[in-house]
Amino acid sequence: GAGVSQTPSNKVTEKGKYVELRCDPISGHTALYWYRQSLGQGPEFLIYFQGTGAADDSGLPNDRFFAVRPEGSVSTLKIQRTERGDSAVYLCASSAGTSWSTGQFFGPGTRLTVL
């Protein structure tokens, strides 16, 4: 497929468990972004990668959240010791670069529910 893909589409877990959310960007896109969208809100920035490195992780809420992009393509968002407040839709986006002339293209999201 040509778009950003995210797996799983839905994830239900219990409080205290560890989860991994995966994002596969558009082929050739060097920049990858993670956002979190709570019900009735706009997406909130978490972290973005330029290549393999995290260029800005200022949006990660605390040290339970971590993301990697080891080969500069697929990225995994990892959440340790999940809390009910982590329940949200986690969105991934990619772009061809950080230039203004490129838009960010979003995936369908992963809906995380922490019971």
Partner 1 sequence: AQKVTQAQTEISVVEKEDVTLDCVYETRDTTYYLFWYKQPPSGELVFLIRRNSFDEQNEISGRYSWNFQKSTSSFNFTITASQVVDSAVYFCALRRNTGTASKLTFGTGTRLQVTL
Residue at 84: amino acid letter: R
Residue 19 or residue 89: which is nearer to partner 1 going by CB? Answer: 89
Residue 58 or residue 62: which is nearer to partner 1 going by CB? Answer: 58
Residue whose token pair is 């772009």: 95
Residue at 24: amino acid letter: D
12 contacts partner 1 (rule: CB under 8 A): no
Distance of CA 79 to the CA centre of its chain: 11
95 contacts partner 1 (rule: CB under 8 A): yes
Nearest distance from residue 27's CB to partner 1, in Å?
A: 18
d(CA 23, CA 20): 10
Encoded tokens for 87: 């329940």
- The footprint of partner 1 (CB under 8 A) covers 31, 33, 35, 40-45, 48, 50, 55-56, 59, 89, 91, 93, 95, 98, 100, 103-109
